[in-house]
């Protein structure tokens, strides 16, 4: 059974639902308000919550029983969870040492990241194929790629001539940040169509594309700033890939193609696009229709939309898609009411 946790920062209660049907499975009351949205383990057996005041808590799934509790020493505004036998939980917030990695079972701290100046974590993403986290900051013009695999190659510290003469200082590959410069601070990160590409919104809301193989921002597409991360979703076809971008109030979405980093066409949705989300190389679109809200699965490369749900009534705007376990995605309204669920790859039940 695929599950989705329903909660919002500032709440003290959250509910666990069957993602596909919306049926309630469990609920829990936390000892303090949420400081960030809870994050599920990729295996679907645990849920991690950051609480106001600085606690990190692990809950069991599907029972929502507290299994571990740790005081971080800072309030984590972002969480990410790795996958596989080397996985850790990464927590980040604001301060000179406000980022740490933890054992996913007992939450014991396994590494603390420290730099000389205070920082504010804006976004974290796990790249499971690379066994690395990507971390970006709201007040630093840089990003960190952090390997969590025990066999990660060493990070070499030194100048170019040090590398060529084998005189660079090797640092442990696991947890040593691979830092790289960005044009400015970051607001949000969005997954890309490949494991090495990430879309980035800077502090003005403008879009940039980061290539993790070369660890730099390689493109700033000529496109009006999307502004919000939940209005961008990656897509991938047999020979092409990119991102679909839909601004609030629009009935069409711009198709950004990675072949030339241009927007040469758009996808007409037939109504206001209320929400979108990635779905296995395709994109889920929630669209306003005459009889309510409809959801389609869009193959962007072929410009084909497959209807999945129609006539969803009494939805209070704005809407958003929320990722559940097992690849399931749930559509929620403003009041966090479940409206529809879409199991991987994309069959809908409502």
* Domain containing residue 250: 230-350
Residue 238 within a domain? yes
Look at residue 7 and tell me if it is in a domain.
no
Please report whether residue 255 resides in a domain: yes
The answer to whether residue 65 is domain-embedded is: no
d(CA 92, CA 119): 10
Q: Which CATH number covers residue 328?
A: 2.130.10.10
Determine, yes or no, domain membership for 279. yes
Is 202 a member of any domain? no
Per-residue pLDDT of the chain (350 residues; tens, 9 = 90+): 999 999 989 999 999 999 999 999 999 999 999 999 999 999 999 999 999 999 999 999 999 999 999 999 999 999 999 999 999 999 999 998 999 999 999 999 999 998 888 999 999 999 999 999 999 999 999 999 999 999 999 998 754 444 455 556 789 999 999 999 999 999 999 999 999 999 999 999 999 999 999 999 999 999 988 989 999 999 999 999 999 999 999 999 999 999 999 998 999 999 999 999 999 999 999 999 999 999 999 999 999 999 999 999 999 999 999 999 999 999 999 999 999 999 876 444 44
- Domain for residue 86, yes or no? no
DSSP string of 274-304, one letter each residue: EEEEEETTEEEEEEEETTEEEEEEEETTTTE
Contacting residues for 260 by C-beta, under 8 A, at least 6 apart: none
Q: 312 to each of 174, 240, 272, 282, how far by Cα in Å?
A: 47, 32, 14, 21
Predicted pLDDT at 166: 59
Establish if 154 belongs to a structural domain: no
Element (H, E) at 242: strand 241-245
State how many domains the chain has.
1
Residue 135: partners with Cβ closer than 8 Å, 6 or more residues away = 90, 92, 99, 121, 123, 124, 143, 144, 145, 146, 177
Model pTM greater than 0.85? yes
């Amino acid at each position: 059974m695929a599950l989705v946790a329903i909660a919002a920062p500032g709440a003290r209660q959250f509910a666990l639902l069957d993602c596909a049907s919306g049926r309630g499975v469990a609920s829990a009351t936390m000892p303090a308000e949420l400081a960030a949205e809870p994050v599920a383990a990729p295996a679907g057996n645990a849920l991690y919550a950051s609480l106001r005041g600085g606690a990190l808590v692990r809950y069991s799934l599907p029972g929502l029983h507290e299994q571990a509790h740790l005081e971080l020493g800072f309030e984590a505004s972002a969480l990410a969870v790795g996958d596989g036998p080397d996985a850790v939980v990464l927590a980040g917030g604001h301060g000179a040492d406000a980022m740490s990695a933890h054992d996913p079972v007992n939450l014991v701290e396994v590494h603390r990241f420290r730099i000389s100046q205070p920082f504010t974590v804006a976004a974290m993403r796990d790249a499971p194929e690379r066994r690395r986290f990507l971390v970006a900051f709201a007040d630093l013009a840089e990003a960190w790629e952090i390997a969590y695999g025990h066999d990660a190659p060493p990070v070499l510290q030194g100048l170019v001539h040090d590398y060529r003469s084998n005189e660079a200082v090797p640092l442990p590959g696991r947890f040593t940040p691979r830092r790289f410069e960005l044009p400015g601070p970051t607001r949000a990160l969005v997954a890309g169509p490949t494991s090495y590409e990430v879309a980035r919104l800077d502090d003005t809301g403008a879009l940039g594309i980061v290539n993790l193989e070369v660890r730099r921002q390689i493109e700033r597409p000529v496109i009006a700033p999307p502004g919000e991360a939940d209005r961008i979703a990656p897509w991938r076809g047999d020979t092409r890939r990119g991102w679909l971008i839909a601004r609030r109030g629009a009935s069409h979405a711009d198709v950004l193609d990675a072949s030339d980093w241009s927007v040469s066409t758009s996808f007409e949705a037939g109504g206001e696009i209320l929400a979108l989300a990635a779905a296995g190389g395709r994109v889920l679109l929630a669209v306003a229709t005459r009889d309510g809200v409809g959801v389609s699965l869009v193959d962007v490369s072929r410009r084909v939309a497959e209807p999945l749900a129609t006539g969803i009534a009494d939805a209070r705007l704005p809407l958003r898609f929320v990722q559940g376990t097992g690849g399931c995605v749930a559509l929620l309204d403003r009041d966090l009411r479940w409206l529809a669920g879409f199991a991987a790859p994309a069959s809908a039940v409502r």
